[in-house]
Structure 1
């Protein structure tokens, strides 16, 4: 009987402590220092309004007042850090060749018309700017704009060169980098721990495990940004008639587990920003902000700006 009472009191104490620290994590953890905060994030510069990852897209987004540019990096044959989502040139340029096999000067221009990945049956037709820019071009043009860098391949030289560029342009306080791969994130952190990193996919799963077992408040976290999809948008990305029952169940389960206000509030209190991607309509913008997301990543920066203006969602301080 005494043993049962002891176990019950121990469990009760743990649950109450966990609940308290979930709400007030700064009792145990020092809040991470935020050098910038982003509500409005332009995915690939705004792939629905200009050709993705071009200087024209980035300039349009910055002129509009975006808080952050999201972009992707690869390395050319002559070891130039280039801004491109795909490693292969087929989709964007119509040529079946890998960026890593082509010198920068010989890279072809983008096609005139590209599909928007996160908007079903939507295409963007670009203007005159069809050049694939270098990362240093972005840093030169937008010295005060935070940049979210997706390191697309597990390449030590690429990681080193991106870090060198960030340091050269004095942007460690304006940059976040990483990838879904835990290997890449670990290498990024080892190369330059002064540049904040994203949660990798395995770390997101670990984060959820800690959250649902009540252990999250007790664990230190090295990451400063949680960047996750809103699973429910799958019904908008694919033809609803082609979604199987299993697809819908998986999407519902993932959405239920990931989209948790208590989780977002806890992370935010610890100085960890939460970005939800890639949202392109008012309904999803509203849901993300209602859940407590720090920021929203979109292909349509004008659409998101108009939504924020109409709803009085303030810019970060």
Structure 2
């Protein structure tokens, strides 16, 4: 075989490989559906337990939301000084308790001394839970208190921090120990944290996309190259608008749905927006007002 013939064959093989690769990428496979997503849609998730109705991330909030009939809770998780996973959004405890300082500077027992909901005011502006005895709770306590509810879990710790380096493994070990793989979705704004968690979970837990994953999906869709999007996530949770960019597009929802990616919007508290998103096909609403969302869905049935 001559040198020219070999070069031609090599080039032909390369072109064929590129063509075959483009065919594969141009038709990305649908995500296999996790058991977490099985059941009726749309779903209502109480944001931090329903932060407008009771102190956020408190047992009182979760109990109230459960009584209303929500499908699950959207929560945030941080790590204490003695490496317990607690349900808490902020890095500091100042905004929602009568204490001050970072979660990571306190042990769990020390955090339990503070009053959660100390600053909470209800819809009428009344401090209904001051002195009610609400305390910061652990992720384990939440799972065990609500065995019939879904948990949408956001790992808040920065991956470059000590707490962040431990969090993905800590979250996975607790999920595995409690056997709750089918009723939890794990996500983070940090794609790196999701990747770390996935190394442990090995596709046994539903995964929500981070900031970069959501941006990639939307950018490819909007630019007309949606066929090049290869999803690495089971759900994408987004606000209605990011800066000046509207994300509440029916076409975008339909695009993600076609790949078996579930689309949920946060944090939606007004009935008009809820109604529009549900008509567009959104799979879930994450809200501080689960009472409104549930009434809307019941009315539409």
Task: Please indicate the TM-score interval, normalised by the length of the shorter structure.
Answer: 0.7 to 0.9
Structure 2 contact 31–231 (Cα < 8 Å) conserved:
no
2:116 to 110, 114, 135: 110
1:86 aligned onto 2:90: yes
C-alpha contact (below 8 Å) 2:34/2:205 kept by paired residues: no
- The question of 1:49 aligning with 2:38 is answered no
| 2:58–2:117 CA contact under 8 A, matched in 1 | no
CA contact (8 A) 1:112 1:125 kept: no
Asked if 1:35 corresponds to 2:24, the answer is no
Cα displacement (A) at 1:98: 0.8
For residues 168-195 of structure 1, what are the alpha-carbon distances to aligned partners after superposition, in whole Å with 9 as ceiling and x for unaligned?
1111111111211122222122232322
Q: Deviations over 1:203-222 (max 9, x none)?
A: 21111221123332343212
Q: Distance in 1 between matches of 2:95 and 2:44?
A: 27
Residue 5 of structure 1 aligns with which residue? none
How far did residue 122 of structure 1 move? 6.7
Pair 30,230 (structure 1): closer, same or farther in 2 beyond 3 Å = closer
1:272 corresponds in structure 2 to 261
CA contact (8 A) 1:82 1:132 kept: yes
SS state at 2:45 partner: strand
Distance 1:123 1:301, change over 3 A: farther
CA contact (8 A) 1:43 1:71 kept: yes
What secondary structure, in the 3-state scheme, does the structure 2 residue paired with 1:62 have? Answer: helix
Looking at structure 2, the residues matched to 264 and 295 of structure 1 have their Cα atoms a distance apart, in angstroms, of 11
Pick from 123, 147, 151 the counterpart of residue 147 of structure 1: 151
Say whether 1:132 aligns with 2:120.
no
Alignment deviations for residues 60-111 of structure 1 (CA, whole Å, 9 cap, x no partner): 2122221121111111111111110111111111433111110111111214
Which has more radius of gyration?
Answer: 2
User: Quick one: distance in 1 between partners of 2:250 and 2:194?
Assistant: 26
Q: Equivalents in 2 of 1:122, 1:274: separation in Å?
A: 33
Cα distance change, pair 126–292 in 1 and its aligned pair in 2 (3 A): same
Does structure 2 conserve the Cα–Cα contact (< 8 Å) formed by 1:199 and 1:225? yes
1:42–1:70 contact (8 Å) kept in structure 2 = yes
Do the aligned partners of 2:189 and 2:210 also contact (CA within 8 Å) in 1? yes
| Cα 1:30/1:204, change in 2 over 3 Å | closer
C-alpha distance 123-307 of structure 1, shift in aligned 2 (>3 A) = farther
Where in structure 2 are the equivalents of 1:298-317 lying within 5 Å? 298-312=287-301
Which of 200, 211, 214 is matched with 2:210 structurally? 200
For the aligned residues, what is the CA RMSD?
2.6
Report what 2:200 is aligned to: 191
* 1:126 Cα offset (Å): 2.6
CA distance in 1, matches of 2:108, 2:257: 40
**What CA deviation, in whole Å up to 9, does each residue of 1:230-252 have, x standing for no partner?**
128xxxxxxxxxxxxxxxxx53x
Aligned 8 A contact 2:58 2:116 in 1: no
State the distance in 2 between where 1:74 and 1:175 align. 16
Q: Secondary structure at the match of 1:93?
A: coil
> Contact 1:49–1:124 (CA<8 Å) still a contact in 2?
no
| TM-score, reference length from structure 2 | 0.81
Question: Which stretch shifts more, 77-86 or 215-224?
Answer: 215-224
Q: Give TM-score, length-normalised by structure 1.
A: 0.77
Residue 181 of structure 1 corresponds to 190
Deviation of the 1:144 alpha carbon? 2.5
The worse-fitting range, judged by mean Cα deviation, of 58-67 and 211-220 is 211-220
Q: CA deviation at 1:305?
A: 1.1
Deviation of 1:123 (Å):
7.5
Specify which of 209, 232, 249 is matched with residue 222 of structure 1: 232
Any unmatched runs of 5+ in structure 2? 1-22
